[in-house]
Amino acid sequence: MTNPKINFTPGPSQLYFTVADHMRTAFREGIPSLSHRSKQFENIYKDTVDGLRELLGLPDHFHVFFTGSATEIWERTIQNLVLQNSVHLVNGSFSKRFYEVALQLNKKALLLEAPAGSGFEFDVQIPGDTELIALTHNETSTGVALPLNFISAIREQNPSALMVIDAVSSLPHPDFDYADADAVFFSVQKGFGLPAGLGVWLVNDRCIEKAETLLSKGNSIGSYHNIPSLLQHERKFQTPETPNVLAIYLLSKVVADMIRRGIGKIRKETEYKAAILYQALEKHAAIGPFVSDAPWRSQTVIVADTGNLTGTITETLLRHGMQPGDGYGGHKKTQLRFANFPTHAKEHFELLVDLLDKL
């Protein structure tokens, strides 16, 4: 089995560099068989919540719930927050799957789609009876990200709808104004650099009210992972089911590490690494960035149009211990994707850029 030193696949991604140490400590301290009804677990849950509030600037009226995956959160979002009408801004394969989940749950879902590799450069018209607007901040498939002022504008024009932001492959980088969102979610195997198997759902009181209203009118909003059940348990820092205790523990530790490092520093380094890679792609004769319009370019998943050099570049990088991510879906043979997460060092990006320059 190969295990390259630097893994640029956008998820599951390279582990955050402290994870192996935390896993050893976890085993020493009995975390893998810790009861989720113990005081010690409640402390771990609380540490994670406190840490996320500090790291992300998350306001107190947001609750922190755990699920099995971000994919589960797509389903729980529709199930708990939509009686009939949702609107989905689709800019790639993952935002499209969020839309399809709404159809599978028999909702009237409206699709507003941007061309592949582009932002929403048109007048986004959202019907007045929309209950929920689903945005994907960072499309892992295409490397298109929504500018924060675009999100604010959508919010301002549609104050009554719930705004839900999929930030699976961007957090902890974006400095969201949480007044623009009612729910935000991510999974831990991307920017947080943890083993997969945990989704994190940040939910405000408007979402709680909506779920409780749907329930009180006799609609089924699911069982153990409906919002009222998650909330009732979160108040005691517990979970409805036996959760992935180990992943929650590791998340609490990595969040603490990131706080010590400083979120400002992490954001600046992320933007520096993105800038040098986009610059290298732009000035390159044979390859280029897939997203042509700079304001819509992701800082955390950088997609390169590599055409018929894709194989050559991959081989070159692998020889230097670097694993690029394949292009997504139909772009597998003509694009490469580079995750730019907090675990990726500046030096690795400088080496990557050097290698691309020389091609």
If one asks whether residue 32 binds a second copy (CB under 8 A), the answer comes out as yes
User: How many positions of this chain bind a second copy (CB under 8 A)?
Assistant: 58
Residue 236: CB minimum distance to a second copy, A: 15
Contact between 80 and a second copy by CB under 8 A: the answer reads: no
Residue 105: CA count within 13 A, CB half-sphere: 25
199 CB burial (10 A radius; 0-12, 13-18, 19+): buried
What is the per-residue DSSP string for 25-93? Answer: HHHHTTGGG--TTSHHHHHHHHHHHHHHHHHHT--TTEEEEEES-HHHHHHHHHHHH-SSEEEEEE-SH
95 is a site residue for a second copy (CB under 8 A): no
By rule CB under 8 A, what string of x and - marks binding of each residue 49-78 to a second copy? ------------------xxxxxx-xx---
Q: Does 231 bind a second copy (CB under 8 A)?
A: no
Q: Is 215 exposed, middle or buried (0-12, 13-18, 19+ CB in 10 A)?
A: middle
Which residue among 154, 163, 198, 303 contacts a second copy (CB under 8 A)?
198
As measured in angstroms, the least distance from the Cβ of 65 to a second copy is 13
CA distance linking residue 111 with residue 114, whole number of Å: 10
Nearer to a second copy, 33 or 125 (CB): 33
User: Does the protein bind a second copy through residue 300 (CB under 8 A)?
Assistant: no
Q: How far is the CB of 4 from a second copy (least distance, A)?
A: 8
Instruction: Give CA separation, 174 vs 122, 178, 185, 274, 341, in Å.
Output: 23, 11, 12, 13, 12
Site membership for a second copy, residue 195 (CB under 8 A) = yes
CB of 244 to a second copy, least distance (A): 3
Burial 73-108 (b: 16+ CB within 10 A, else e): bbbbbbbbbbeebbbbbbbbbbbbbbbebbeeeebb
Does residue 42 interact with a second copy by CB under 8 A?
Answer: no
19 binds a second copy (CB under 8 A): yes
Among 117-125, 187-195, 302-310, 347-355, which window interacts with a second copy (CB under 8 A)? 187-195
Q: Which is nearer to a second copy, 13 or 340 (CB)?
A: 13
Question: Binding a second copy by CB under 8 A: which of 27, 179, 279, 330?
Answer: 27
C-alpha torsion angle, residues 101, 107, 112, 115 (rounded to 10): 30
* Cα–Cα distance, 320 to 4 (Å, whole number): 9
Residues that bind a second copy (CB under 8 A): 1-3, 7, 9, 11-15, 19-20, 23, 27-30, 32-36, 40, 67-72, 74-75, 100-101, 104-106, 187, 189, 194-198, 218, 220, 222-226, 240-247
